Amino acid sequence: FWGAAAVSLQRSAHPLLCYVAHVTVGLAQNFLPEWTLLGDTSVLAGVYGPAEVKVSKEIFNKATLEVILRPKIGLPGVAEKSRERLIRNTCEAVVLGTLHPRTSITVVLQVISDAGSLLACCLNAACMALVDAGVPMRSLFCGVTCALDSDGTLMLDPTAKQEKEARAVLTFALDSVERKLLMSTTKGLYSDAELQQCLAAAQAASQHVFRFYRESLQRRYSKS
């Protein structure tokens, strides 16, 4: 059974699409897949949990959060592991793990297509999947990527080509309550002032993403 709602949002010439779908799959009863498209980047996310956890991995006072990121082709490598760690740290800051001690919450992300801003797209997909699965969270979060090219021009949600030619690429994860910074990862050369400028631009752009979350969740609940 597939029920999908798709919404397209124009933001700095990069449409943002999200399918909020409800799929019943035989054994995986707590599996809720979400698609997020950022331009042509799309990531499918599913959340399992709170579920049983192996005794070796259990934490006595909070939930064990696991993130699995699978690339489009090939075996997952070091880059995937590093992105998994970044996504996991962001999710751990936001998910109320103390409500479910000695359980595991697993977020599985599958890259469908990559055209730049992959980490931001993964973060958005992970957030929507966690909300849809009913995991208690203290706020929502979103990912925004900024690229600085050699002239110092700031581009939000760069394409793969823009990322390759940029002087610096910065990805931020921002929370929904006060737009605070949850996670940042940067690559390249940039000055202190440029960092502040990128952060401010990312905070402004994040309100579009949060408004989009609100609209698609309202659409989902209006069907019932």
Partner 1 sequence: MAEAAAVVAESLAGGRARAARTVLDQVVLPGEELLLPEQEDADGPGGAGERPLRLNAGARARVRVVCGPGLRRCGDRLLVTKCGRLRHKEPGGGSGGGVYWVDSQQKRYVPVKGDHVIGIVTAKSGDIFKVDVGGSEPASLSYLAFEGATKRNRPNVQVGDLIYGQFVVANKDMEPEMVCIDSCGRANGMGVIGQDGLLFKVTLGLIRKLLAPDCEILQELGKLYPLEIVFGMNGRIWVKAKTIQQTLILANILEACEHMTADQRKQIFSRLAES
Which residues bind to partner 1, rule: CB under 8 A?
Answer: 1, 3, 22, 24, 29-30, 32, 49-53, 96, 99-104, 131-134, 136-140, 175-179, 197, 200-201, 203-204, 206-207, 213-214, 217-218, 220-224
Sheet holding 2-11, edge to edge: 2-11, 14-23, 34-38, 41-51, 104-113, 64-70
Sort strands 154-156 and 141-148 into parallel, antiparallel or unpaired: antiparallel
CB of 134 to partner 1, least distance (A): 4
Residue 7 or 160 having the CB closest to partner 1: 7
Residue 50 or 116 having the CB closest to partner 1: 50
Residue 23 or 79 having the CB closest to partner 1: 23
Which H or E run includes 124?
A: helix 118-133
What is the three-class DSSP state of 57? coil
CB of 179 to partner 1, least distance (A): 6
Residue 71 or 101 having the CB closest to partner 1: 101
CB of 6 to partner 1, least distance (A): 17
